[in-house]
Structure 1
Amino acid sequence: MTREVVAAAPVPVPGRAQRVREIAGELRGLRGALIPILHAVQEELGHVAQDDVAVVADVLNLSVAEVHGVVTFYKDFRRAAPGRTTVAVCQAEACRAVGAVELADYARVRVGCGFGETSADGRITLDEVFCFGNCALGPAVQVGSKLHGRVTPARLDALLGEAL
């Protein structure tokens, strides 16, 4: 059972549209600029908001539907702000072979949300990743920017305790 955080209607952030326009303007000369621009917006601002889609579309002379389609097609792009801490559980074959499926099930119950969702209290966003390149130390979990290997449910509890 998962709970999804239902956010109120997004409120435009003062200056956000201008910053998105600047990022898009700086990168629009790249070949295939749309995806690098979206990644840069998310990297700096945490997510790609619906209002950002229209700004990027305007700068690149694309339709809003084209940009929206890319944002919603690729799982890498967040459309809402993530929780304070992001916890990603590897679901690649090597990690699955040593308990990642069970660890993921445990993480979903423990955090109270599914992959791609944020806990009701806004503290943790739970994600799945398909390989950190830490295969010899599976199952691998990344908490924030720190990668951990051989994570058990008990160790995940300790890592989550530190994140809260």
Structure 2
Amino acid sequence: LPLLHAVQDALGHIPADAVALIAEGLNLSRAEVHGVITYYHHFRAEPAGRHVVQVCRAEACQARGAEALMEHAEQALGCAQHGTRADGAVTLEPVYCLGLCASSPAMLVDGTPHARVTADQFDRIATQLKVLT
């Protein structure tokens, strides 16, 4: 896992041509490496947008409005969750527990945590990033 994290941190995703090199270096099959990449939601096989918005979907956040926040994010950003907007400006991803349960609903924007996020707060953050549709 640390190697996959390092590749993704450096490149923004794990390209298909890197899978064979990783597999060879770790003495694993390409299928085993691909299985790990597709199993863990954190890893991407395609590049993310210039900005990455990750909305927590764990139980505590769901109880405090994460579903509505995700729906608002989809409309405000103009892309579905698990997707990147056509212009490449933003990727919207669900994540499962950011460890901010007492301050839910929570999200990460380009790795920066935001807690107790309302639709208005979301719009202010997205406006600062210049990614609102």
Mapped pair 1:71 → 2:37: yes
Per the TM alignment, residue 115 of structure 1 is displaced from its structure 2 partner at its CA by 2.2
CA distance in 2, matches of 1:69, 1:93: 26
User: Counterpart in 1 of 2:82?
Assistant: 116
Q: Aligned to 1:102, which of 54, 68, 79?
A: 68
SS at match of 1:110: helix
Per the TM alignment, residue 89 of structure 1 is displaced from its structure 2 partner at its CA by 0.8
Larger Rg over CA atoms:
1
Per the TM alignment, residue 126 of structure 1 is displaced from its structure 2 partner at its CA by 0.7
State the Cα deviation string for residues 39-74 of structure 1 (Å, max 9, x = none): 111112211000010111122232222222221222
SS at match of 2:46: coil
Mapped pair 1:53 → 2:19: yes
Question: Which sections of structure 1, spanning at least 5 residues, go unmatched?
Answer: 1-34
Q: 4+ runs of 1 displaced by more than 3 Å?
A: none
SS at match of 1:42: helix
Number of aligned residue pairs: give it.
Answer: 130
SS at match of 1:160: helix
Mapped pair 1:162 → 2:96: no
Code of the aligned partner of 1:87: V
Code of the aligned partner of 1:47: H
Residue identity (%): 48
SS at match of 2:116: coil
CA distance in 2, matches of 1:78, 1:66: 16
Per the TM alignment, residue 101 of structure 1 is displaced from its structure 2 partner at its CA by 0.7
State the Cα deviation string for residues 83-131 of structure 1 (Å, max 9, x = none): 1111111111111111111111111122222222111111111111212
Deviates more, 1:76-85 or 1:129-138: 129-138
